[in-house]
């Protein structure tokens, strides 16, 4: 069942440093070959930190629409320094097949990007999920603005996608209505999951923050949460969504079936695409 709600920042410019460029060649089911150009670039964000960003481009002359995929945050802070630049192969392949250029940034405080981690929401007793999401949104906004200055991208045809903390940050950035962004795909977005073990340490704060984002967001979004998401279960995710659309934000909520042992990983886990592609295809068609 789908719930629908109808209605529809500039950040500083970034400098790009190309580190690697090569062609990835793959064969499709008919034995035909398709090439996708890939490079790692650096995009300046807050404080001049260079976001290490994987970019994959479809075949054919541009300009192409752009999709920015935003990663989650590990449960343990000790894992942040070892995180790699994302690939998200199922979603990337899906977007390339639709003619999108795909950007996958590694945000501040993670892996090779380094710098200060800006997304801390504080203590579990008194979390600030609202500003933590906006900090994630700062990096997303920097990537949006960088590509809007690139001739190979359709500057008014940008899709922002995020999983978990990346989904939450995408919803947060939607509250700023960044220029050129047509839609948001939020996969299992939220913060504070699995605290102290299973569940969220302050679900009411998540709902409140979602309501604040929705009071100003006018970009269309699709929220997808699995039935057995152990971070943000159906009751909590629906409450966040309801608070978000209450202020007039245009959004759809699609509950996905249970997936494996934990539906929170449905976005990138093998086989997960079979559950989310149909509603995602429908959403993209609505943006045209």
The b-or-e profile of 65-101 (16+ CB within 10 A means b, else e) is bbbbbbbbbeeeeeebeebebbbbebbbebbbeeebb
Domains of the chain: 3-287 (3.40.50.1820)
What is the bridge-based pairing of β-strands 33-44 and 20-27?
antiparallel
State how far the alpha carbon of 18 is from the alpha carbons of 21, 37, 38, 39, in Å: 8, 13, 10, 7
pLDDT at residue 27, as a whole number: 33
Nearest to 253 by CA among 200, 198, 214: 214
CB 113 within 8 A of CB 52: yes
Q: Which two tokens stand for residue 128?
A: 């600030």
pLDDT at residue 219, as a whole number: 98
Cα-flanking dihedrals φ and ψ of residue 89, to 5°?
Answer: -55, -45
pLDDT at residue 196, as a whole number: 58
pLDDT at residue 243, as a whole number: 98
pLDDT at residue 197, as a whole number: 61
Q: How far is CA 203 from the centre of its chain?
A: 21
pLDDT at residue 22, as a whole number: 29
pLDDT at residue 34, as a whole number: 46
Number of Cα atoms under 13 Å in the Cβ half of residue 261: 0
CB 271 within 8 A of CB 235: no
* pLDDT tens for the 288 residues of the chain, in order: 444 443 333 333 333 333 233 233 333 333 323 457 899 999 999 999 999 999 999 998 889 999 999 999 998 899 999 999 999 999 999 999 999 999 999 999 999 999 999 999 999 889 999 999 999 999 999 999 999 999 999 999 999 999 999 999 999 999 999 999 999 999 999 999 876 566 688 999 999 999 999 999 999 999 999 999 999 999 999 999 999 999 899 999 999 999 999 999 999 999 999 999 999 999 999 998
Residue given tokens 């699709």 in the structure block: 222
What is the bridge-based pairing of β-strands 20-27 and 50-57?
unpaired
């Amino acid at each position: 069942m789908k719930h629908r709600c109808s209605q529809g920042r500039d950040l500083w410019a970034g400098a790009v440093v190309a580190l690697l460029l090569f062609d990835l060649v793959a064969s499709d089911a008919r034995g035909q070959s398709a090439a996708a150009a890939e490079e790692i670039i650096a995009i300046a964000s807050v404080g001049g930190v260079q976001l290490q960003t994987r970019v994959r481009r479809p075949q054919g002359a541009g300009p192409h629409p752009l999709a920015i995929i935003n990663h989650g945050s590990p449960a343990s802070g000790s894992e942040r320094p070892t995180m790699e630049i994302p690939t998200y192969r199922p979603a990337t392949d899906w977007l390339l097949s639709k003619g999108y250029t795909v950007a996958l940034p590694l945000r501040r405080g993670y892996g090779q990007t380094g710098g200060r981690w800006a997304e801390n929401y504080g203590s579990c007793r008194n979390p600030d999920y609202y500003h933590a999401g906006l900090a994630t949104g700062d990096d997303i906004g920097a990537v949006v603005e960088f590509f809007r200055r690139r001739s190979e991208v359709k500057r008014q045809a940008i899709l922002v996608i995020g999983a978990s903390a990346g989904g939450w940050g995408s919803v947060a950035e939607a509250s700023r209505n960044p220029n050129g962004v047509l839609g948001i795909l939020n996969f299992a977005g939220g913060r504070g999951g699995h605290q102290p073990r299973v569940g969220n340490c302050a679900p009411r704060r998540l709902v409140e923050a979602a309501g604040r984002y929705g009071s100003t967001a006018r970009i269309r979004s699709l929220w997808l949460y699995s039935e057995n998401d152990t971070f943000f279960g159906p009751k909590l995710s629906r409450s966040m969504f309801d608070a978000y659309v209450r202020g007039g934000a245009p959004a759809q909520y699609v509950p996905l079936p249970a997936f494996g042992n934990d539906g929170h990983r449905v976005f990138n886990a093998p086989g997960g695409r079979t559950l989310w592609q149909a509603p995602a295809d429908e959403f993209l068609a609505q943006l045209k």
